[in-house]
Chains A and B, each alone.
Chain A
Amino acid sequence: MFRFGAALLGVGGAIAAVPILGTLLAPARRQASAWVSLGSAEAFPPGQTRFATFLNPIRQPTDGDAAKTACWVRCISPGKYQVFAVNCAHLGCPVRWFAQSRLFMCPCHGGAYYEDGSRAAGPPPRGLFEYPWKIDGGNLLIEAGHLPGLEQST
């Protein structure tokens, strides 16, 4: 009798655990990034680094403003770009571009990066994170979807 009860609880519990664990563990699964447009490539003139925003391609209806994402677009020469995540490689704070000294600076712990995204000074363990990019129909597209991090590509 006791064993029968234990078996029933075990079977019922195992079935109930599927949605419970599924809900709790689902976010650990990596979702595929997607291409998203930053608008006309001509908006990013050669030799300059400009601020751009896009809506994260992986988003939920309840994200609100948090689905908006910012990035820095550097046009090296016509048709050649670098697109940097704003998130500092140290602890993810938003870096700002200073066109005069051609540096990115982080307000949190003073990480600094050169215009090509490489680490210039401070605590960051690497350069800025970059989004893969392509030109399609005159638009600059980047592959995005994830908050960038040391172990996590964009």
Chain B
Amino acid sequence: MKAPRMFGVAIDWVESRTGAVAFIAPLLTHHVPRNAKWWYVFGSATLMFFTIQIVTGVCLATLYAPSAAEAWESLRYIDQQVPFGWMLRALHGWSSNAMVVMMAIHMLQVFLHASYKFPRELNWVTGVFLLFTVLALAFTGQVMRWDQDAYWGLGIGASIADRVPLIGNQVRGLLLGGPIIGGETLSRFFALHVFVLPGAAIGLVGLHLALIMKNGISEMPKPGATVEPATYRAEYEQRMEKDGVPFYPDAAQRDMVFCGACLVLLVVLAAVYGPFGPGGQPDPTLIDTNPRPDYPFLWIFGAVSLLPPASETAVMLVAPLVGVLVLVAVPFLANAGERAPSRRPGMVLVAALAVMAVAALTWEGKTSPWSPVMDGWSALPTPSHFLTGRTPLEVQGANVFQFAQCRNCHSLNGLGGERGPALDAIATRMTADQLMRQIQQGDGNMPAFGRNLDSAQMTALVSFLTTLRPEFEAPAVIPGAQLPLPVRQMPGEVATPVAAGTQ
């Protein structure tokens, strides 16, 4: 027998017993729209990153010790001693971020092209569940790192769970697996991260793909080409028959090129930037730490920080549910009609606002200007131009300014905390009396220092602050009051303001 013929016999043998060819062949030969071009590669790339996650994840599971006492050490072992262990972790970490990004782009494209309309409503719904499954994988993956960020991130999760009315305690216990963040917490998240969530994701991916086969790939939206549920299916099949191209090789080649490029980029990123963490060791008595979540959650961290405290609990608990409901509801709110973005300007605006909101909140979460600079008081220099020409009392005040940790929340010359206003020109806005009152009594966002500074410190501090104003700008006065004369001239200043607003 010749080799090709033997091969054919073998295929027939398997086919007669499994039906595999009948199952796989349509996956390759089914017709897809001719004009789709490069728009539809993002879903495939997401799937590729997911596959990488499974393969690298299984490898990591053979090396990782899922025990709170040993996990952090085992990661250092993987990074430093296992041959290419660091690369394995780097691939897993970067591919995780890439999967989230690619999924977001895929979702955005589907939303903008309204591909979720009839008959693809459930394609969208399974996609939404995949989104949340993947985000849950990202969060539980951050816990696997079992470093300070993981520990305090769990603390934030526990604090949110605690706010659930009536059963907050129980919810928190179920989340942490016990009364504290400890061994059972990690085991619990490990079970989620390697069994439950990947299992759910694989099932959902299968469903998602089955629905794609059932409903076909949506065409590029054309203004005026509306979706009419009564006739859509028959017309779509007719058009595919006439004008479609087989998935393999026409569309598959573009998927291959894009996925290949993504893979090369991933390998380069992983090799150049290396693995994420682990950060400081997970010892809760090492409190000199500044916990931040991973990238996919920075925007939530930012949103939580910017909420008015009174609305916080309600928003933290209700917003995620509303988010899920709104996303699931999208195809049911409008499952027919126009698909072209040019005919759906409102939806384009919604997508643009969502992208901008997430981007802006991520930036806020990354820079977190609301966080005090914890070592601002001890580490930052006082700019020399705020010291020259000052009286001893004012220089003493500059010292109080540092030692009373004012700098942790207030910046001078751009250095220091941003929680409170920058004080470079505070003397143009507040008089000595107003400054005294503000420091002594504070307000909602500033502690009252009345009990914490003695009167000598307070006097020095206020006298220093009253010198903080740019040249040529008059000091603040109580409206209608005469400026006290003479105003002392600061170095470099040429004119002495006579009254507020006049030079």
Contact = CB atoms under 8 A, between A and B. Distances in A.
A53 B284 CA distance: 9
B68 interface: yes
Given A25-B174, A65-B282, A94 B289 contact: yes
Interface stretch (A1-9, A40-48, A73-81, A100-108): A100-108
B28 to A, nearest CB: 41
Nearest to B185: A66
A139 interface: no
B160 interface: yes
A35 B52 CA distance: 49
Nearest to A151: B168
Interface in B175-231: 176-187
Contacts of A66: 68, 151, 180-183, 185, 282-284
B180 A147 contact: yes
Nearest to B179: A146
Contacts of B452: 101-103, 114-115
A13 interface: no
Interface string B153-167: 001101111111000
Nearest to B287: A94
Q: Size range of the interface on A? A: 35 or more
A60 B185 CA distance: 11
A124 B370 CA distance: 13
A85 to B, nearest CB: 11
Q: Size range of the interface on B? A: 35 or more
A122 to B, nearest CB: 7
B139 to A, nearest CB: 15
A121 interface: yes
Contacts of A27: 173-174, 176-178, 184
Contacts of B282: 64-66
A107 B289 contact: yes
Given A93-B156, A101-B449, A109-B371, A146 B180 contact: yes
A25 to B, nearest CB: 7
Contacts of A61: 69, 183
B184 A60 contact: yes
B169 A152 contact: yes
Most chain A C-beta atoms within 10 Å of own C-beta, residue among B168, B181, B372 = B372
Contacts of A14: none
B447 A120 contact: yes
Contacts, number: 210
B442 interface: yes
Nearest to A109: B305
Contacts of A28: 169-171, 173-174
B419 A110 contact: yes
Contacts of A135: none
A112 interface: yes
A24 B187 CA distance: 12
Interface in A63-91: 63-70, 86-87, 90-91
Interface in A96-151: 96, 98, 100-103, 105-110, 112, 114-115, 120-125, 145-147, 149-151
Nearest to B309: A123
B449 to A, nearest CB: 7
A59 B169 CA distance: 18
B403 interface: yes
Nearest to A119: B447
B160 A60 contact: no
A120 B417 CA distance: 17
B405 A151 contact: no
A40 to B, nearest CB: 19
Contact of A101 (B161, B284, B404): B404
B482 interface: no
B172 A91 contact: no
A5 B98 CA distance: 49
Nearest to A58: B179
Contacts of A95: 287
B159 A121 contact: no
Interface in B268-313: 281-285, 287-291, 304-305, 307, 309, 312-313
Contacts of A91: 155-156, 159-160, 304
Which 9 interchain pairs have the tightest Cβ spacing?
A: A64-B69, A62-B183, A120-B447, A149-B162, A92-B155, A94-B287, A151-B168, A63-B182, A65-B283
7 contacts: A62-B187, A92-B158, A93-B155, A105-B405, A106-B372, A110-B371, A114-B451
